[in-house]
Structure 1
Amino acid sequence: MPEQSEREGRSDGRSVEPPGLRLTGVTTVIDDSPVLHRLGLDVPAGEITVLMGPSGAGKTTLVRHLVGLLEPDRGTVEVGGRNVWEASPAGLREIRNGMGVLLGGSSLFDSSLFSSMTAFENLEYSLKHHGVGEAERDRRAMARLQEMALDDVAAQRPEAMPAHARRRLGLARALVTDSPALILDDIDVCLDAAHSHRILAALASWRERTHGTLLLTTHNIGLARELGDHLAILANGRIIATGSAAELLNGVETNEQFDHRFQISDFLGPPRIEDVRADDETSRRGLRVTFDPAMVRAAAIGIVVVTLVVMTLTLAHLI
């Protein structure tokens, strides 16, 4: 089978075992504003996890932590059990070489494309970097371009292409190495009506070839339901729900229904810089038992609400 030979024909010697991805206790502050606070997320090896949440919730920040582009202020980030931010430069290169990555955004730089290279050369370069032979490079590069309906612009540079074509080229570049882990941020830009079926088919083909680990971020409810083995909801700097995509999105068809189910239910509110500083102070004092200030506030509100309900029922009974 041709697709199977793609997987077995690599000459780089890398293991094809899919890695699990894990973030534990991650806190990130950018420009004195907390973006993530005590975030935890497990992405199971060999499965598809979809990450959803409102714009600005921190999805791209989370992805940049995983691929070694942005170090969190606190917490650990692991790929295949290896701490990304404690790895040596050589170790970090090895971790990155095991990933296919599409960064968020539609610009040339955000799509991780080389503007000085043609579409074909962008894909061939990635394969050459991974030690794939010339004949195999040519075949696989053209196969991925054809998947994305880009074979007719193989000789063009990205700057000559419309934004949606550049985005599909960025996706093709992420797929071409058949890495055991695939991280796709803001894939919605690729999903125009004319090409969405191609994107879904390409992801299915990648999964069949590699049986790899896939983490993708999206706002597309239908895509999350169709692709996701698992779903994680990110809001206000934390993961507020995880589980089966089919179960969590059952009955959710519109963005308004999604917002009502997940964002409104996150009554803890956005992370505050005061809470992050409180964590830092606790850490400096060496205390081992800590409490999330947001959780404490939520618990206090819950106690007050319950108390008022009990008092109301008691008074009604007495009357």
Structure 2
Amino acid sequence: MAKVLFLGGFGRSGTTLVERLLGELPGVCALGEVVHLWQRDIRDDERCGCGERFSGCVFWQRVGDLAFNGWANVDVNRVHQLRDAVERTRHIPRLASAGTAPDEVREYASYYSRVYAAAAEVAGARVVIDSSKHSALAHVLRWSEDVDLRVVHVVRDARGVAYSWTKTVSRPETDGTDEMTRYSPGRSALLWNAHNAAFSLLARRGVPVQRIRYEEFLADPRAGLLRLAEFAGLPLTDPDLDFLRAGHADLRVGHSAAGNPMRFTVGRLTLRHDDAWVRAFPRSQRRLVGAVCGPLLRAYGYPMSVVPKA
């Protein structure tokens, strides 16, 4: 059974940074956003975090050989059909309340469990990380008998998240020809509520869930990593965290299948609190997002009033 640490939350909440740092720990294999593996990698042959095209990445080709006797044997159309049938936010109430999982749920989860188990074997890892974020996917995975699922629920101030979604960001894996999705502040606020609430529901269904606030994690990443390693059942020693320095981390090459452009970073990664939204996000939009997300912001310990520093 594969031990999986699933990083969940709404996009632009810092999951890629958390994954990159966790991926430096011994016994951990960070896979990126596996939810996009089927289209972006198997079908579109986009670049792995190591810089190679998916078809040219030795790690992923070994995973495919072990999991499916080659990626050519994966019916991507079938995976997409299953995704549309079971892995949607609107399906979460059914996934959370069902006494038994429909066959389609188990079949869809089996594609992921085979990838996780193969990646763990190829990497010699005790824990694999999937930073897919999607709450519906986490609800699907809880039904798999082949996955030891633990969820890290990453939350970030909804106003910072909404501001990030308004920015134009190129996707380097497409050589800059495509851009990442953008959302209006109102749309991102609604999605922030829905995705984060879904992880609370997951915890009530017996799945181990540990919530972290991105801002606190970034303020003290060493303490944050120690807590997450304990949650994942990974014993650490002080030398295991030597890649963390004052204000930065030293990163090795990774094999992230998809995700934020940060997955391509090798070497020094500056660790700084990104609070540009406090000054750059228009006050009217900050207030809109704050009003829509107010109950959860309070529940997560965020202040309702944010005053830009002079």
Give yes or no for TM over 0.5: no
- TM-score interval, smaller chain: 0.3 to 0.5
Q: Pick the structure with more helix per residue.
A: 2
Structure possessing the higher radius of gyration over alpha carbons: 1
Q: Pick the structure with more strand per residue.
A: 1
Higher relative contact order by CA 8 Å / sep ≥ 6: 1 or 2? 2
TM-score (norm 1): 0.33
